[in-house]
């Protein structure tokens, strides 16, 4: 077998079931980078574990069933045994080959066969107990099957199973990527990680092409995450610029226009003495500081909406003062109340509209909740001229529902 396979399939690997059958009726051949490990074999089947780089391993059972139904019964029992022994119902597993048995009468070559027989029921029972299904009618996850016409010298039909695995294309293709990616500080780290994930050292051009293809996927991801969506990045930067311009305009409005241009610097003493006319009073300085800080906190931390104060979470990237303000929500809550009018901007759970504080806090303290979405607004709960509220599951939620029914929505904005 080895001299023949070396001559016919040079550079390929193979395995057969000669240990279980002297004729070796089943032969599996493969090529790198796939790895194949035999886990079970018999005279009618050969089960292997197939592995591809960066892919989950899967099991494949090649079948060449006997022409005798008594021997096929042993094969059905063997398939059920494999399913239980290797927990294949919870793993990726497909079985293919020549079963010498059909599942349905419609698969018979004779149109006179219209009723299932006992042999069909035995095969169906095997498929059911093993947790398998026929690819003729269903699809293996992310896979498709194509049955090719049989060659002239055989009655067997070749089957091509596409596992949606991107294999290297034949031929030589240049390895290209955008040069500006080398300027990114994470470029070297991305290359090192991708090279390590692609497997061990490569000794052939095929292995090198495979590793370069995997590395190219990581480079595309780096380009998409760090250099794409330029319009959105420009828009975000423009919004920050507007925020700064607004703060500067407010700063100038507090200081007022300069009475005259500052004179040339004659000496350090004269320059510092000239600053007396441009001094800012303590009240002005406090007003400037508070206003700029409030605008920055609203636009940057709260994403432009004060409502987000009740839902924003502390982050490690924030300063300690910002995180401190976020954690003071329980103390700030009694000081900031939302006035309900028409209700579309008032969020049921996170806005401070109720007299007893945030509804979300009541929900957490009572370990109970209403079947109301987290992003629901007050207006969304009022439909067809009445409140649509689910049954309360605690005394606190009952008070919330009772108070809500006393509210009359208006046409004014919240």
In which band, very low, low, confident or very high, does the pLDDT at 13 lie, cut at 50, 70 and 90?
very high
**Average pLDDT over the chain, rounded to whole?**
77
Instruction: Kindly write down the DSSP assignment for every residue of 96-137, as one continuous string.
Output: EEE-S--SSGGGSSSTT--S--HHHHHHHHHHHHHT---TTT
Cβ–Cβ < 8 Å for 181, 6: no
In which band, very low, low, confident or very high, does the pLDDT at 17 lie, cut at 50, 70 and 90?
very high
Residue 184: per-residue pLDDT: 85
Query: Does pTM top 0.75 for this prediction?
Result: no
Task: Read off the pLDDT of each residue in 216-239 and give the average, rounded to a whole number.
Answer: 81
Least-confidence region, from 59-68, 98-107, 273-282? 273-282
Task: Read off the pLDDT of each residue in 229-243 and give the average, rounded to a whole number.
Answer: 79
The secondary structure of the chain in percent helix, strand, coil, rounded to multiples of 5, reads 45, 10, 45
Question: Structural domain boundaries of the chain?
Answer: 2-162, 179-227
Residue 252 has pLDDT above 80, yes or no: no
Residues 6 or more apart in contact with residue 185 via CB below 8 angstroms: none
Could you report how far apart the first and last alpha carbons of the chain are, in Å? 84
Least-confidence region, from 189-193, 207-211, 248-252, 284-288? 284-288
Residue 138: per-residue pLDDT: 45
User: Measuring CA to CA, how many Å separate 107 from each of 102, 136, 158, 230, 370?
Assistant: 6, 11, 17, 57, 55
Residue 367: per-residue pLDDT: 46
Task: Pull the structure tokens for residue 406.
Answer: 């006393």
Residue 31 has pLDDT above 70, yes or no: yes
Q: What is the pLDDT of residues 342-396, one digit of tens each?
A: 778 777 777 777 766 667 766 655 444 567 777 788 788 887 777 777 777 677 7
Residue 271: per-residue pLDDT: 47
Q: What is the pLDDT of residues 304-349, one digit of tens each?
A: 776 677 777 888 888 888 888 878 777 766 666 777 777 787 777 7
Task: Pull the structure tokens for residue 148.
Answer: 């090719």
Q: Name which of 38, 116, 24, 130 is nearest 77 in CA terms.
A: 130
CATH fold group of domain 2-162: Deoxyribonuclease I; Chain A (3.60.10)
Residue 379: per-residue pLDDT: 81
């Amino acid at each position: 077998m080895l001299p023949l396979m070396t001559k016919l399939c040079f550079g390929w690997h193979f395995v057969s079931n000669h240990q279980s059958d002297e004729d070796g009726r089943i032969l599996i051949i493969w090529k790198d980078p796939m790895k194949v490990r035999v886990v079970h074999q018999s005279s009618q089947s050969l089960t292997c574990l197939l592995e591809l780089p960066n892919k989950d391993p899967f099991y494949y059972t090649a079948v060449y069933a006997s022409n005798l139904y008594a021997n096929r019964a042993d094969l059905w029992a063997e398939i059920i045994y494999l399913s239980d022994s290797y927990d294949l119902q919870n793993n990726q597993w497909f079985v293919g080959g020549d079963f010498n048995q059909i599942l349905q009468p419609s698969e018979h070559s004779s149109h006179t066969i219209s009723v299932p027989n006992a042999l069909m029921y035995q095969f169906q029972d095997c498929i059911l107990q093993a947790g398998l299904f026929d690819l003729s009618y269903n699809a293996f996850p992310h896979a498709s099957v194509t049955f090719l016409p049989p060659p002239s010298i055989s009655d067997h039909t070749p089957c091509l199973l596409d596992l949606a695995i991107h294999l290297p294309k034949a031929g030589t293709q240049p390895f290209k990527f955008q040069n500006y990616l080398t300027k990114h500080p994470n470029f070297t780290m991305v290359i090192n990680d991708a090279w390590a994930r692609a497997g061990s050292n490569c000794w052939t051009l095929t292995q090198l092409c495979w590793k370069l293809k995997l590395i190219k996927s990581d480079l595309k991801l780096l380009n998409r995450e760090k250099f794409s969506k330029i319009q959105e990045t420009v828009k975000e930067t423009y919004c920050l610029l507007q925020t700064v311009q607004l703060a500067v305009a407010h700063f100038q409005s507090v200081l007022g226009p300069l009475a005259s241009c500052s004179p040339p610097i004659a000496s350090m003493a004269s320059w510092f003495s000239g600053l007396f006319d441009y001094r800012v009073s303590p009240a002005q300085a406090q007003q400037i500081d508070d206003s700029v800080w409030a605008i920055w906190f609203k636009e940057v931390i709260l994403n432009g909406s004060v409502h987000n104060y009740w839902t924003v979470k502390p982050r490690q990237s924030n300063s300690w003062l910002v995180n401190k303000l976020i954690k003071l929500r329980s103390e700030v809550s009694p000081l900031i109340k939302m006035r309900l009018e028409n209700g579309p901007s008032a969020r049921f759970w996170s806005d401070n509209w109720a007299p007893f504080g945030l509804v979300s806090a009541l929900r957490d303290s009572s370990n109970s909740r209403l079947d109301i979405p987290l992003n629901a607004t007050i207006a969304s709960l009022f439909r067809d001229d009445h409140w649509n509220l689910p049954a309360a599951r605690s005394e606190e939620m009952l008070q919330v529902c009772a108070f809500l029914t006393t509210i009359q929505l208006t046409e004014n904005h919240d």
